[in-house]
Amino acid sequence: MNKKPRVVVGLSGGVDSSVAAHLLLEQGYEVIGMFMKNWHDESVTISNECPWMEDSTDAMLVAEKLGIPFQAIDLSEEYRERIVDYMFSEYEAGRTPNPDILCNREIKFDIFLKAAQKLKADFVATGHYCQKGSISKEDSTVYQLLAGADTNKDQSYFLCQLSQEQLEKALFPIGHLQKSEVRAIAKKLDLITAEKKDSQGLCFIGKVRLPEFLQQQLKPKKGRIIQIPEELSVFDRYQVPAGVSLDELDDATLDGIAFPIHYSQSQGKTIGEHNGAHYFTVGQRKGLHVGGTGKPLFVIATDTRENIIYTGLGEEHPGLLRNALFVKNDQIHWIREDLKLEIGQTARYEARIRYRQPLVGATLIQRENGLYVLFDSPQKGIASGQFVAWYQGAECIGSGTIF
C-alpha cells in the first residue's frame, strides 16, 4: 500500500491557511496543522488587531473541524534574532526593511520547514496567493515561483527570496483561487475563520505602532526637517543620456543613475523638527507634522548619522523619483539560477519594488560590482533596504536588496 505524502500546513488562524489545509486533504495528503507563535510582546500591538492567542485557538478549532492533528511551535527566539533584530539594525542605518519577505525566507521556509521535517513531512504548505511550477531540465527539475491567480492578492513578491531547495518542499494550495472562492469554501465547510478579516501589519506580530516598536531599541532624538527645492534635485543627471545604448553606459554613469541621491543641509531650508530620522523612510508622507505647505510633503532622503530628514513638495518632486537602482553582488538572489546573468550581460524583465505595485519594464545590467536595474519609467520612493523583484510574465525570476 502506497504511503500518503505528509504535509505540515502553517495554520495561522486565518481563512487562507484553513482552506489550504482542507484542499490538501481533498488531494490525498496526510495533513498536520501547525501554529507558529513568534511574538510575545503585546505592548506595541494595536489592541485586538492580531492577538496570537485568538489566532492559535482559531487554528486549533479549524484543525479539529478538519480532523487533522494540531500542534503549536514557539519560534519567538528565532524570530527576534532573524527578523526583529534585522529590522532594528536596518532602521538604525537609515534603510527600510521588509520583514515579511525575510520572514518567509528565514522562518516559514527555513525554521518551520526544519520543524516539519522532524515530523517526517515531505512538504510544508501555506495560505499564500502564489503558485508553483516546474520545468524538467536534463537530469534535474527547476521549480518556478508563479503569481497567484487572484491578481489583487498575488503574494509572489513576498516569496521572492525563496531558493530552489525551499520551493521544492513548498506547496501553495490556494494559489489558483480567487479570494472570494476561498471564503466560499470556508463558509461551505462552516469553518470559524470563514468571515475573519485578513491580518495586517508585520508578519506574525500584527498591526503595530511602528514608532513605539522601534523605540524599544532606537531612542527618540530631535532633528531638523529640511525642504529641498525642486531645482536643486538635479534630476537631469539621473537620466540615461540621449542616444546612448544601455550596454554602452560606463559604471560611473550607471552609479549616478542608480545610487541614492545625497543632499546637504545647505541645499534647503529648515521647516520643522522630528523625533528621529531612523523612524522615517523615503516616500513617507505621514508623521511629518508640518503644516502650511500647500502640496503634500514627502520624505526624499534621510541621514541617520546627522539625524536629518530631507523632504520635497508634491508627488512629482524629482527627489522622489528615480530611474534606476543598484543591488550589491552579495544581495542578488536568482530563484531561477539557470537564468543568472554573468558579468557584462543584460536582460529585459518586468520589475516591482513593493507589494501590489504594477510591474514595469526594466533592463537588468550585471557588472563586476553588482546589478543595475533601469526602469522604463521613473519609480517613486525607491528606498534602500527594500526588495526589487523581477518577473518574466507571471514568473518571479529573482530579487535583490536595494542599495
pLDDT tens for 155-174 read: 999 999 999 999 999 999 99
Q: Does the structure show a pLDDT above 50 at 236?
A: no
Q: Does the structure show a pLDDT above 80 at 213?
A: no
Of 181, 213, 245, which closes a domain?
A: 213
Residues 173 and 295 in one domain: no
Of 179, 213, 247, which closes a domain?
A: 213
Distance CA(229)–CA(292), nearest Å, equals: 16
Residues 20 and 58 in one domain: yes
Grid coordinates of 362: 526594466
Residues 223 and 360 in one domain: yes
Residue 128 falls inside a structural domain: yes
Residues 232 and 175 in one domain: no
Residue 1 falls inside a structural domain: no
Question: Rounded to an integer, what is the distance from CA 229 to the centroid of its chain?
Answer: 32
Give every CB contact of residue 66 below 8 A, 6+ residues apart in sequence: 18, 21, 22, 25, 31, 33, 189
Residue 69 falls inside a structural domain: yes
DSSP structure string for 174-227: TTTS-HHHHHHHHHHTT-TTTTPPPP-SBTTTBSB-HHHHHTTTS----EEEEE
Q: Which is more confidently placed, 6 or 206? A: 6
pLDDT of residue 208: 65
pLDDT of residue 333: 98
Residues 102 and 242 in one domain: no
Residues 319 and 362 in one domain: yes
Give catalytic residues, as residue numbers: 103, 203
Residues 51 and 99 in one domain: yes
Contact 281, 273 (CB under 8 A): no
Residue 94 falls inside a structural domain: yes
Residues 201 and 108 in one domain: yes
Q: Which residues pair with 274 in a beta bridge?
A: 223
Contact 75, 111 (CB under 8 A): yes
Residues 184 and 102 in one domain: yes
Question: Rounded to an integer, what is the distance from CA 156 to the centroid of its chain?
Answer: 9
C-alpha distance across the termini of the chain, in Å: 54
Residues 279 and 165 in one domain: no
CATH number assigned to the domain comprising residue 145? 3.40.50.620
Residues 123 and 266 in one domain: no
Read off the DSSP letter of residue 45.
B
Residues 175 and 320 in one domain: no
Of 189, 213, 237, which closes a domain?
A: 213
Contact 108, 10 (CB under 8 A): yes
CATH number assigned to the domain comprising residue 230? 2.40.30.10
Question: Among 155-164, 252-261, 387-396, which stretch is predicted with the lowest mean pLDDT?
Answer: 252-261
Read off the DSSP letter of residue 304.
T
Q: Length of the chain in residues, anyone?
A: 403
Residue 237 falls inside a structural domain: yes
Residue 327 falls inside a structural domain: yes
Amino acid letter, 292? G
Tally the C-alpha atoms within 13 A of residue 388's C-alpha that lie toward its C-beta.
Answer: 32
Residue 346 falls inside a structural domain: yes
Amino acid letter, 256? G
Mean pLDDT of the chain: 91
Number of Cβ atoms within 10 Å of the Cβ of 2: 5
Count up the domains in the chain and report the number.
Answer: 2
Q: Which residues pair with 71 in a beta bridge?
A: 34
Residue 205 falls inside a structural domain: yes
Q: Quote the domain boundaries for residue 240.
A: 219-401
